[in-house]
Amino acid sequence: MAIAFGLFGLMVGSFLNVLILRWGERSLSGRSACMACGKQLRWYDLMPILSWVFLRGRCRMCGSRISIQYPLVEAATGALFASVALVPLPLGFLYQLAFCAIMALLVAIFVYDLYYAIIPDAWVWTFNALALLLVFVSPLQATHSIDSGQASFWLPALLAGPLAALPLFVIWASSALRGLPFGAWMGFGDIKLALGIGWLLGPALGLFSILLAFVIGAVISVPLVLFSSDRWRRFVEEFTPTAVSRRLAWQFTMKSEIPFGPFLILSCITIWFLSMYNLDPLRIFGLSL
Ligand SMILES: [Zn+2]
């Protein structure tokens, strides 16, 4: 079952690559072609992961580089789908499919936000709708509630979305207090994403997921900011005057904003899997109540 889900994930990942590349640009139908030479790709150039490895990341016709995004997205989607199939809870096939659909959406949002620092509305609202639907039917939610079916369970579960979105909304709005435009410190897309994360994980884990996203963000961003500083660049140029190391330093040059969506998604998927595998995320991170 896990192998079947993994292979299915590879194919879905391959489709996600096309979706990310063509979203808002052109239609999803039509054959894939090389971005550099425009020649149509054959079926054997489109095998998930394998084609990229055999071609060593280059186009068969013109030899130009093919982004490592393609095999990475395929591998990540395959691994996530296989992990859903391996969940010890007896989920049932429909839930497994729903969970895989959510994983696929999160992978697509992750990559798109990383590239363009924007989250497509259609994707995030589909994710939110699925997460809200699961509040009502998920066996996972029921196992975490004290008395499922009671108002004491439904109300916190429904409020979990707005609750998780609230801290990000406060940050989004508070830049106005400093005379900056709304959203200078936090994108509105991140607030929408947090809504679904709250519904998916429940009130406690939802809020914890937002907190963990900030921690992951800090751990990853601080080195990025350091390595993109002028001082670091001068240091590298002075002490390692080779073309290779100079290129290394420049590669860390940062865009003006680091998107927050990928951190939210990393955190959400980690916590979601921990609870799916019956591991208490709060206890693992030393925060058990
Ligand atoms: Zn080519």
The more confidently predicted of residues 239 and 215 is 215
CA of 266 to the centre of ligand 1 (A): 33
d(CA 248, CA 12): 33
* Residue owning tokens 């296989």: 82
Residue 189 near residue 118 (C-beta atoms within 8 A): yes
The predicted model gives 264-283 an average pLDDT of 91
Query: Which of left, alpha, beta for 183 (phi over 0: left; psi -120 to 50: alpha)?
Result: left
CA of 200 to the centre of ligand 1 (A): 42
CA of 66 to the centre of ligand 1 (A): 9
Q: Which residues of 169-179 are buried (b: 16+ CB within 10 A; e: fewer)?
A: bebbeeeeeee
The predicted model gives 180-202 an average pLDDT of 91
CA of 37 to the centre of ligand 1 (A): 4
The more confidently predicted of residues 257 and 274 is 274
Average pLDDT, the chain: 86
Q: What share of the chain is helix, strand, coil (3-state, %, to 5)?
A: 70, 0, 30
The more confidently predicted of residues 237 and 168 is 168
Cα dihedral value 125, 127, 129, 134, nearest 10: -170
Closest CA to 248 of 263, 261, 237: 237
Q: Spell out the residues 6+ positions from residue 23 whose beta carbon is closer than 8 angstroms to its own.
A: 112, 120
CA of 205 to the centre of ligand 1 (A): 46
The predicted model gives 73-90 an average pLDDT of 94
Least trusted range by pLDDT, from 20-24, 121-125, 146-150, 172-176 = 146-150
CA of 36 to the centre of ligand 1 (A): 5
CA of 64 to the centre of ligand 1 (A): 6
Phi, psi of 43 (to 5 degrees): -60, -35
CA of 251 to the centre of ligand 1 (A): 24
Encoding tokens for residue 178? 């400093």
Sign of CA dihedral 240, 242, 64, 116: positive
Least trusted range by pLDDT, from 75-79, 105-109, 113-117, 255-259 = 255-259
* Residue owning tokens 């936090």: 186
3-state SS class at 58? strand
- How is the chain split into domains, by residue range? 124-289
Q: Spell out the residues 6+ positions from residue 258 whose beta carbon is closer than 8 angstroms to its own.
A: 217, 221, 224
Residue 101 near residue 162 (C-beta atoms within 8 A): no
pTM of the model: 0.86
pLDDT of residue 253: 46
d(CA 178, CA 144): 41
* Residue owning tokens 């925060």: 287
pLDDT of residue 207: 95
CA of 31 to the centre of ligand 1 (A): 14
CA of 42 to the centre of ligand 1 (A): 12
CA of 51 to the centre of ligand 1 (A): 14
CA of 91 to the centre of ligand 1 (A): 44
